[in-house]
Amino acid sequence: MHKILTIGFDGMLAGAFAAPADLFATANFIARRASKKAGAKEPLFRLMTASIDGKPVICGNQQSVNVDFALSEVENVDVVIVPGLFVDSAEMLISMLSQLTPLGRFLHQMRDEGAIIAAPCTGVFILAETGMLDFQEATTTWWLSTEFRERYPNVVLDDIKLVADAEPLLTGAAGASYMDLSLHLISKLAGPNLARMTGAYLCLDGPRESQSAYAIPYHRQVRDLFIEKADHWIRQHSGENLTVSDLARHLGVSARTMARRFKSVSGMPPSDYIQRVRIDKAKYLLHNSTKSIGQVAGEVGYKDEDAFRRAFTKHVGQTPTSYRRKAKL
């Protein structure tokens, strides 16, 4: 039996706390049915929860959740899951991290005792605060990757991956990557076949490898009027042979000034931003139209279909054909 502990704390994502338990319970059900000895065999996974002091916690959606133990009462677990925090800005996240410092000692202790430590989304920040991720590969939510790199320069961040396995430390990407992380854990502890069956029972597509398909390049920039104006114009002209010089002229600034502004606000040069907006539009067309790959390429400014396919695969982590097939499931 593998003992799975999920830690609860105020402000956490409710789904990241509860959903992994559903996946492990489903895996138990499938394994029990397969054995044809229902009730005669102990479950593969025992699910437990704990908070810092053992008291109920309030999720970010204001739902109150009870737990089984205080951290001081926990012993002999195989996996510790650290949910993400429900936040809308980097500033809010950093402020909340300061309230979770008591978790650090506990996580170090669990790792030293041989437990796997798993954290999805903003929970990766909690794990990084302990220093355990230094010089280890990790992933995290795409929209806070810039802040993550700045705060934890010693972590080897791959913000394309949905799951990064630096055993015994597992990290997941944005939002619902706790599903992918849970399936990865089931595969790791009980085999890939059970993980595939669990995903099938719950209609989960997997294994997913990249979060690029879900990233929105202008997510953090919509409140910056300069970038918002640029973004609007790029989208209006995304099917044309748009250049950085064209954009600078429209914005009424020099190319150098525009480059500095883009870099400081968006974290990327204008040329990369233009390409990401084009790819974002391509994802929409692939998902919501029956246009051919060549037609989609032309509508987002690529005269060469092969060049479009290469650019799309580089940014999204899968081919346009594969993305369309999965998006239609």
**Where is the domain boundary, 209, 239, 271?**
209
Specify the amino acid at residue 289. S
What's the confidence (pLDDT) of residue 280? 80
Question: Of the residues 209, 237, 252, which one is the last residue of a structural domain?
Answer: 209
Q: How many domains does the chain have?
A: 2
Residue 287 confidence class, pLDDT cut points 50, 70, 90: confident
Provide the token pair at 79.
């996996």
Quick check: helix, strand or coil at residue 176? coil
Given this model, what pLDDT does residue 222 score?
47
**CA-to-CA dists, residue 325 to 24, 34, 200, 205, 287, angstroms:** 28, 31, 17, 11, 9
Spatial CA neighbour of 140 closest among 151, 153, 125, 118:
125
| Pair (6, 103) in one structural domain | yes
- Do 83 and 168 share a structural domain? yes
In a domain, 219, yes or no: no
Q: Are residues 81 and 192 in the same domain?
A: yes
Whether residue 123 sits in one domain with residue 257: no
Q: Read off the CATH number of the domain in which 46 is found.
A: 3.40.50.880
Q: What is the pLDDT of residue 238?
A: 82
Arithmetic mean of pLDDT, 187-199: 91
H/E element, 106: helix 102-112
| Residue 261 phi, psi (nearest 5) | -65, -45
For 79-107, the pLDDT digits (tens) are 999 999 999 888 999 999 988 998 999 99
Domain hosting 107: range is 2-209
Verdict on whether the full-model pTM lies above 0.75: no
Q: Which residue has the tokens 């396919």?
A: 309
Do 249 and 149 belong to one domain?
no
Residues 261 and 117 in one domain: no
CATH code of the domain in which 252 resides: 1.10.10.60
Q: What pLDDT does residue 76 have?
A: 92
The pLDDT tens digits for 230-285 are 887 888 888 888 889 999 999 999 999 989 888 887 778 888 888 888 888 888 78
Q: What is the DSSP string of 29-68?
A: HHHHHHHT-TTTS--SEEEEEEESSSS-EE-TTS-EE--S
Separation CA 30–CA 201 (nearest Å): 9
By the 10 Å C-beta count (0-12 exposed, 13-18 middle, 19+ buried), 168 is classed as: middle
Alpha carbon distance 112, 265 (integer Å): 40
Question: Is residue 177 domain-shared with residue 250, that is, in the same domain?
Answer: no
Q: Distance (Å, rounded) from C-alpha 308 to C-alpha 319? A: 10
For 78: left if phi > 0, alpha if psi spans -120 to 50, otherwise beta; the answer is alpha
